[in-house]
Structure 1
């Protein structure tokens, strides 16, 4: 069975976007790029909710470099009840039962499935116990307000820390696995 990993950058106070959906506060530098390069090798599929998909699809097709090559080439699924099409290369639009589709994807052969951003969509998968690992890049910034990464979580989920990687920039990458109650 394929593993689902939620990977997000987050402020120390728990936000992944400002109120106006700005993500320019992320600390992005060579060490983080190296980490992404190392870990993206295990990915076979990316999952997005509508809002994150629209942001990514507006940026990556015109971008250059290794990460852009990865983002533009990998299999992608966008889950939305309102989108009419998903034109970014190698993207499938799913408008039906997201949980059933993700359960099916987990059963298929292929690399690890990653979720980037997509807090509402990720919360749905978390509530159904479908996320196998959380990878968080904690950025050395307090935003004060914004969009919380974890919201609408229906019950407590204990996490086990499995990996830490501090970067010179002050970003600390944490890997957690959910634990049974």
Structure 2
């Protein structure tokens, strides 16, 4: 079975974007000029063969004209409101998101990248579908914004697997999700 990894940048106070779905604070020169963490992230993308995202995450790039943000991956956008995909390579999933993710995990292939989306992550955590969490904790406190995860009905237990501290203060934390007893 393929692993689903929630790989996301966050502020120290647990926000993955501003309230308006933008992420400008994460793009400060002091945070991106140390290319080591950026290069590590780009290298990690090669381990994924499929990308999943909710509509709000997808629309960030779409506003900039990016219709296929992960051209080397099979990309799925989960939305009940989008009527059609603006790119034939991007599969739009309107119904049974949980069933579709289960189907994708059961297929042969590389790891699956959950590219942001706190609300979507909450649904997938609740169903026990996320296997790992990779957090790029940025030295920022936003005070408000889009939370890392929303609407959890139960605690998700994690086991710390590794840490890495970058020169610019970004901290990469890798956790395994501890499955709930059956």
| Superposed pair shares fold, TM > 0.5 | yes
CA RMSD, Structure 1 to Structure 2 (Å): 1.8
Count of residue pairs the alignment pairs up: 175
Give the secondary-structure state (helix, strand or coil) at the position aligned to 2:52.
Answer: strand
**8 Å Cα contact 1:16-1:147 kept in structure 2:** yes
List gaps (5 residues or longer) in structure 1: 63-67
Q: Which has the higher helix share?
A: 1
C-alpha distance after superposition, 1:41-67 (max 9, x if no partner)? 1100000101101113334739xxxxx
Number of the residue aligned with 2:61: 56
Work out the CA distance in 2 between the residues paired with 1:56 and 1:127: 27
Counterpart mapping for 1:1-181 below 5 A: 1-26=1-26, 27-29=31-33, 30-59=35-64, 61=66, 71-88=70-87, 90-181=89-180
Give yes or no for contact 2:158–2:175 (8 Å, CA) kept in 1. yes
Alignment CA distance shift 1:57-1:74 (3 Å): farther
What's the TM-score once normalised by structure 2's chain length? 0.89
Q: Secondary structure at the match of 1:164?
A: strand
Shift of 1:132: 0.3
- Which 5+ residue runs of structure 2 have no aligned equivalent? none
Compared with structure 1, are the counterparts of its residues 180 and 107 closer, same or farther at alpha carbon in structure 2 (3 Å cutoff)?
closer
Q: Deviations over 1:13-61 (max 9, x none)?
A: 1111112222011133411221112211110000010110111333473
1:32/1:60 CA distance change after superposition, 3 Å: farther
* More displaced stretch, 30-39 vs 125-134: 30-39
Partner deviation per Cα, 1:99-123 (whole Å, 9 max, x = no partner) = 0000000011111100111111111
